Copies of this chain bind each other. A is one copy, B any other.
């Protein structure tokens, strides 16, 4: 081994960045959160998130393309479910970090 940590390959970096980008949209986070207790149909998700049908569908497509959710068709309806539970670990880590930051800021201001 020459360099212990050689320059990260552009591809690897792009993959990781892309994964974070998928999670950088409030509506997609909302959808994932709605799916935390199991699969739901698109219509159910539309109602629980308050988004338009078109927008919800597109975001679900994005999540599915990234492999974060799974699609299951049953008759007229399509059910989506979380394919990669590690997403929630990610969100918890971020939330914890944000809480720490807010707590610090709060202590600064009083």
Contacts and interface: CB of A to CB of B under 8 A. Distances in A.
Tell me how many chains of this kind the complex includes.
2
B23 A20 contact: yes
B98 A15 contact: yes
Nearest to A95: B16
Interface SS of chain A: helix
Contact of A17 (B26, B87, B97): B26
Taking residues whose C-beta sits less than 8 angstroms from the other chain, chain A's interface range is: 35 or more
Contact of A8 (B16, B30, B87): B30
Given A16-B95, A20-B94, 12 more contacts: A16-B94, A17-B23, A17-B29, A18-B24, A19-B97, A20-B21, A20-B23, A67-B101, A84-B100, A84-B101, A86-B96, A90-B94
Instruction: Give the 10 A-B residue pairs with the shortest CB-CB distance, closest first.
Output: A21-B24, A20-B24, A20-B23, A13-B26, A17-B26, A86-B97, A20-B20, A19-B94, A17-B24, A24-B24
